[in-house]
């Protein structure tokens, strides 16, 4: 039997119109209605609206959680299940839900509050660097205060985060093929969002985590775990910690995974995995049409 991992993308993968094709499916309709009660706004209305509104953290994160969990549940209804799960930043919440660590509405309540706190965490910036000198980057970051490696995505792509001055200083000193400032409200996955992270920790502590039914690879600690307390502690560190996606990619074959299914809009994660490891079968389930019959 082929060992399969399910992976879930995070903020930045959102696309106008995502999830709208799921409205014809009764179980999806129920989830969208429940989400509207919890959020106070309609995910499908936001997904149909202009991309600027959808791309605001406040709306992006809950919308991705709802759409990705619906797609994953529809896959499970069709008899499919993963042997391992992982998610990129926000995507870790969908992975934990699929692993049975918390129930669906508890996860959405967490994501709603996370989105609110991150949306209000202004100041600083993030930037993506492509095809860069790794040694030079590590050296410059070590010598520059107030900037960190926020996302280690693949050997050819990283994201840095910190004060505007510090991020711009690194961008100007490190040779790269491309350096692109990201459209985000704050310096996520850095110590600059520590105040929001502390407030969110109190909320996380109040939620009971169950043992995972499949192992989870966490962003801040890319080793498989089913331990509920360990998974919670990793999630607590996630808002200020680095997303170690390159290491998660390397862990897939190390854990016997042969096939990876990315569930959610876009194909960001399968693209990153392809650049990091070879010989894995990579698939995407972005829409209802891509669900196996």
Residue 210, pLDDT score: 98
Q: What is the pTM of this model?
A: 0.96
pLDDT band at 104 (very low <50, low <70, confident <90, very high): very high
Report the alpha-carbon distance of residue 206 to residue 229 in Å, rounded.
12
State CA 25 to chain mean position distance.
25
Question: What pLDDT, on a 0 to 100 scale, did the predictor assign at position 184?
Answer: 85
Active-site annotation holder among 13, 63, 88, 89: 89
More confident residue, 50 or 164: 164
Give mean pLDDT, residues 76-102. Answer: 98
Domain shared by 75 and 209, yes or no: yes
Statement to judge: residues 113 and 49 lie in one domain: yes
The mean pLDDT value of the chain amounts to 96
Tell whether the model's pLDDT for residue 1 goes beyond 90.
no
Pick the range with the lowest mean pLDDT from 32-46, 119-133, 135-149: 119-133
pLDDT at position 159 = 97
Claim to verify: residue 111 and residue 17 sit in the same structural domain: yes
Taking the C-alpha atoms of residue 16 and residue 24, their distance in angstroms, rounded to an integer, is: 18
Considering 13, 161, 189, 190, which one is annotated as catalytic?
A: 189
Same domain for 195 and 249? yes
Q: Is the pLDDT of residue 221 over 90?
A: yes
Q: Please tell me whether residues 117 and 129 are part of one structural domain.
A: no
In the listed set 181, 210, 228, which residue is the last one of a domain according to the structure? Answer: 181
Among candidate residues 58, 68, 30, the one with its CA nearest the CA of residue 115:
58
pLDDT of residue 270: 98
Asked if 139 and 249 sit in the same domain, the reply is: no
88 noted as active-site residue: no
Residue 156 and residue 268 share a domain: no
Cα 4 from Cα 15, distance rounded (Å) = 26
Nearest CA among 179, 191, 257 for reference residue 222:
257
Residue-number span of the structural domain to which 162 is assigned: 125-181
Active site residue 89: yes
From the list 108, 100, 121, the residue with the least C-alpha distance to 216 is 100
Same domain, 33 and 17: yes
Q: Which two tokens stand for residue 135?
A: 């040694």
pLDDT tens, position by position, 11-52: 999 999 999 999 999 999 999 999 999 999 999 999 999 899
Phi, psi (degrees; rounded to nearest 5) at 38: -75, -45
Question: What is the CATH classification number for the domain harbouring 46?
Answer: 3.40.366.10
Q: Is the pLDDT of residue 90 over 90?
A: yes
CATH number for 173: 3.30.70.250
Question: How much is the pLDDT for 293?
Answer: 80
Q: Are residues 116 and 225 in the same domain?
A: yes
Percent share of the chain, pLDDT over 70:
100
Angle subtended at Cα 250 by Cα 254 and Cα 5, rounded to the nearest 5 degrees: 70
At 170-181, the pLDDT tens digits run 999 999 999 999
The CB density around residue 109, as the number of other CB atoms within 10 Å, is: 16
Are 45 and 69 within one domain? yes
Half-sphere exposure at residue 25, Cβ-oriented, CA atoms within 13 angstroms: 19
How many folded domains does the chain comprise? 2
pLDDT band for position 122 (50/70/90)?
Answer: confident
């Amino acid at each position: 039997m082929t060992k399969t991992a399910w992976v879930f993308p995070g903020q930045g993968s959102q696309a106008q119109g995502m999830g709208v094709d799921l409205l014809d499916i009764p179980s999806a309709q129920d989830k969208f209605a429940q989400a509207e009660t919890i959020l106070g706004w309609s995910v499908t209305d936001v997904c149909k609206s202009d991309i600027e509104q959808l791309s605001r953290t406040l709306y992006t994160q809950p919308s991705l959680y709802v759409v990705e969990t619906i797609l994953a549940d529809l896959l499970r209804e069709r008899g499919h299940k993963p042997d391992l799960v992982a998610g990129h930043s926000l995507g870790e919440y969908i992975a934990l839900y699929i692993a049975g660590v918390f129930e669906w509405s508890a996860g959405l309540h967490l994501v709603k509050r996370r989105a609110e706190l991150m949306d209000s965490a202004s100041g600083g910036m993030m930037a993506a660097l492509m095809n860069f000198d790794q040694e030079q980057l590590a050296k410059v970051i070590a010598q520059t205060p107030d900037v960190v490696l926020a996302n280690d995505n693949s050997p050819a792509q990283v994201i840095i985060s910190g004060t505007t001055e510090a991020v711009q200083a690194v961008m100007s000193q490190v040779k790269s093929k491309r350096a692109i400032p990201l459209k985000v409200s704050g310096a996520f996955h850095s110590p600059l969002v520590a105040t929001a992270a502390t407030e969110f920790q109190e909320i996380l502590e109040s939620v009971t985590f169950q043992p995972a039914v499949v192992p989870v690879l966490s962003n801040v600690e890319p080793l498989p775990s089913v331990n509920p307390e360990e998974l919670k502690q990793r999630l607590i560190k996630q808002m200020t910690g680095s997303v170690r996606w390159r290491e998660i990619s390397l862990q897939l074959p190390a854990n016997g995974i042969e096939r990876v299914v990315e569930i959610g809009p876009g194909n960001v994660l399968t693209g990153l995995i392809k650049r990091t490891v070879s010989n894995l079968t990579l698939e995407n389930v972005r829409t209802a049409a891509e669900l196996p019959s």
